[in-house]
Structure 1
Amino acid sequence: MNKPQILVVEDDVAVGNLIATTLETQNYQFHRAKTGAGAVLDAVSYRPDVMLLDLGLPDIDGVDIIRKVRSWSNMPIIVISARNEDSDKVLALDAGADDYLTKPFSVDELLARLRVALRRVRYDSGKVDAQSSVYENGELKIDYAAGCVYRGGQEIHLTPIEYKLLCLLCKNTGKVLTHNYILNEVWGSPTLSDTPSLRVFMATLRKKIEPDPSHPQYIQTHIGVGYRMIRQQGEDL
């Protein structure tokens, strides 16, 4: 199997060197860019599996880079930024970023987020032909053709809204979905519902699919930002 290709977009030399050293210790292949223009060019020519992107670049704002890349590529983009406000995270995620890590960050957390992104790459590439009518994640199973959901082999009865929420999360496994994105996709517009209502639906969904809703293992909350479906450990991707 070819080694994963990582594009590191970071103009801070010290941070860039830290990331590079971290990737080297894990035997990842990587390429470095220090400007937004260079990042876009490298994304086209280098065709990386994952992009690690700083938002505060000297020539182009990182959010604009996300939008440019998203116009032609679905590669995972993990933002690594000193911007730590929820509004900054939401802006980047709504633009198409898959994950958001704030500086200063731990090396272990960076590697964990990277592994999640790479699992998604392998899963997506392995399912291209099937675009499968069946989704499986741990004990959770969705038969899209039949519109049925199972946990541990037993069918779970969901409301139409709960089913749409679950399908949206599952089809974006490993990716943080913002409140606004979910509201747009499920209700058509945030004005048709609101975040408190979304929390209620998520709570009822968790009660049905989680073995222990007080300690969820499938649907992870990103406070102030949104939700993510977690790929269960041990899945054969």
Structure 2
Amino acid sequence: MPHKILLIEDDISISEMVQSSLTKDGFIVTTAFNGEEGLTAFNTDSFDIVIVDIMMPKLDGMDVIKFIRERSSVPILIMSAKDSDVDKALGLGFGADDYIAKPFSVIELSARVKAAIRRATKYSTPEQKVEHPLVIGKLKIDLANFSLSKNDIEINLTSKEFDILKLFVSHPNRVYTKAQIYNFIWNNEYYGDENVINVHIRRLREKIEDDPSNPRYIKTLWGIGYKWEG
């Protein structure tokens, strides 16, 4: 079955370009031209990924992301001309999975879409190998079923958050630079965009740590990167 994409973009020329390119790649693309139309489409159909602009009439992209993330773990890709660290942090903090700045290459966009869907799909694919859950402090991490609980209370993670967690717990005490984390998790070359890594680490800490400002599990090695202490 072809994967379905919801594209929420108020610029008609950009929307048509993206829709045409992704359709040629075999995707089914539903378009919406403002936030309200986007949420109406989201509520009436199911999608494998949502691509959303930030600056839109009626309802902006941040509100759209917040609404969707409260109801679904579907991958969300921000596509916007606003390329400041603040906007990236805010969008990712609301629960977006990735960010691509305008102007962009449709080849890069397609690659990011495919990578996001591939990461999300693996969580719904049963694995043949049975692994016992890891119990680390208050955490219970089931790598086979992609689930996490703390004090027996389930914690919802995005696909990237779980990928980072799995990377850390599979190699405790190994130090990872931000470039290494980006290469492993995003499957892309690292161009020094530390903010994307920082936001995901902060979100993960907020979910698993008792005191995110004084973390027990994910340790920062200043000027180097991060490591997991279990």
Same fold by TM-score, threshold 0.5 exceeded? yes
Q: Confirm or deny that 1:71 pairs with 2:93.
A: no
Amino acid at match of 2:117: L
Aligned to 2:61: 62
Q: CA shift at 1:59, angstroms?
A: 0.7
Q: Does 1:19 align with 2:18?
A: yes
Do the aligned partners of 1:8 and 1:32 also contact (CA within 8 Å) in 2?
A: yes
CA distance 1:186–1:6, shift in 2 (3 Å): same
2:173 corresponding residue in structure 1: 158
Q: For the structure 1 residues 66 and 3, does the alpha-carbon distance in structure 2 shift closer, same or farther, using more than 3 Å as the test?
A: same
- Structure 2 match to 1:198: 220
- Classify the secondary structure of the residue corresponding to 1:65: helix
Query: Deviation digits for residues 88-130 of structure 1, max 9, x if unmatched?
Result: 0000001010101110011111011101111022201104998
Alignment match, 2:31: 32
Structure-1 residue corresponding to 2:112: 113
Q: Taking structure 1 as reference, are residues 54 and 198 closer, same or farther at Cα in structure 2, changes over 3 Å only?
A: same
Distance 1:60 1:90 in 2: 19
Q: Distance in 2 between matches of 1:148 and 1:82?
A: 36
Alpha-carbon distance between aligned partners in 1 of 2:143 and 2:61, rounded to the nearest angstrom: 35
Counterpart mapping for 1:110-149 below 5 A: 110-127=109-126, 133-134=143-144, 149=170
Contact 1:53–1:62 (CA<8 Å) still a contact in 2?
yes
Give the distance between the partners of 1:19 and 1:66, measured in 2 at CA.
Answer: 19
Change (3 A) 1:157 1:13: closer
Q: Does 1:51 align with 2:50?
A: yes
Q: Given that residues 221 and 227 in structure 2 are in contact (C-alpha distance below 8 angstroms), is that contact kept between their aligned partners in structure 1?
A: no
Matched residue SS, 1:31:
strand
Q: What's the % identity of the aligned pairs? A: 27
Q: Structure 1 189/127 Cα, relative in aligned 2: closer, same or farther at 3 Å? A: farther
Q: Deviations over 1:39-76 (max 9, x none)?
A: 11111212111011011110111111111011111100
Residue aligning to 1:226:
none
SS of alignment partner, residue 100 of structure 2: strand
Once residues 128 and 53 of structure 1 are traced to their aligned partners in structure 2, the CA distance between those partners, rounded to angstroms, is: 32
- Please, which runs of 5 or more residues in structure 2 have no aligned partner? 131-140, 147-165, 188-195
Match of 1:101, SS state, is: strand
SS at 1:78 equivalent = strand
* Map of 1:3 onto structure 2: 2
Letter in 2 for 1:158: N
Q: Give 1:199 deviation, angstroms.
A: 4.8
The list of structure 1 runs, each at least 4 consecutive aligned residues, that deviate by more than 2 angstroms after superposition, is: 127-136, 156-159, 173-177, 182-193, 197-206
SS in 1 for 2:47: coil
Query: How many pairs were matched up?
Result: 180
Q: Distance in 1 between matches of 2:172 and 2:116?
A: 31
- Provide, for residues 198-236 of structure 1, a one-character-per-residue CA deviation record: whole Å limited to 9, x for no partner: 354963649xxxxxxxxxxxxxxxxxxxxxxxxxxxxxx
Which consecutive residues of structure 1, in runs of 5 or more, have no partner in the other structure? 137-143, 150-155, 164-168, 207-237
